[in-house]
Structure 1
């Protein structure tokens, strides 16, 4: 599954209507964002059971502020509508793969609320 572009209108619905959502907050002018983009895209192709969304902070400033985004790139992970991870900085593919495994095994119904960094 390829990444989807998210905006203020569909962000909450996407998080609430899907089991697991990874969101990359990014900007076109950001070098680390451009480096992380292909890694994020590859992960989306390898994990069709997860929604991978991208939010351009320049086009969605209100959403970035509401989500508390202070630096880009920032990765936000939500499981069953609950934010379980948010961290600024580009990730290596192996680190993203590790977060994907952790997120899939996280049991929010049992009270697990966060992934380890």
Structure 2
């Protein structure tokens, strides 16, 4: 599956409508972003069960601010609508594969229970 470009208008529906979504926040002037792009694209071809999305931080400044992006590239992983990974910096192919494997292996029953517990603590 090829990578898709998402915007502030499509971000929510992309995350909510898919089981696993990786989001690469990038900019065209960012050399580490440009070096990471082929790795990200190649990985998207190997994992049909994962949505690989890209957000251009220059075009989507509001979305980038809402996501608290302070360094690019930043990779976020969502599983069942929950942010389960967020890290700035370009990953090499084996590091990206490790992230994808870890996200797929998560016990989401435990993750949802932990999220519910955190929400209860705040209230």
Deviation at 1:111, TM superposition (A): 2.5
In structure 1, list runs of 5 or more residues that go unmatched: none
Distance 2:34 2:48 in 1: 22
Distance 2:23 2:111 in 1: 22
Aligned to 2:47: 47
Residues matched between the structures, number:
113
Question: Over aligned residue pairs, what C-alpha RMSD do you find?
Answer: 1.0
Q: Which has the larger radius of gyration?
A: 2
Which aligned segments of 4 or more residues in structure 1 are displaced greater than 6 angstroms?
A: none
In structure 2, list runs of 5 or more residues that go unmatched: 115-123
Deviation at 1:108, TM superposition (A): 1.9
Aligned to 1:83: 83
SS of alignment partner, residue 2 of structure 1: coil
Aligned to 2:117: none
Aligned to 2:27: 27
Higher helix share: 2
Distance 1:72 1:109 in 2: 31
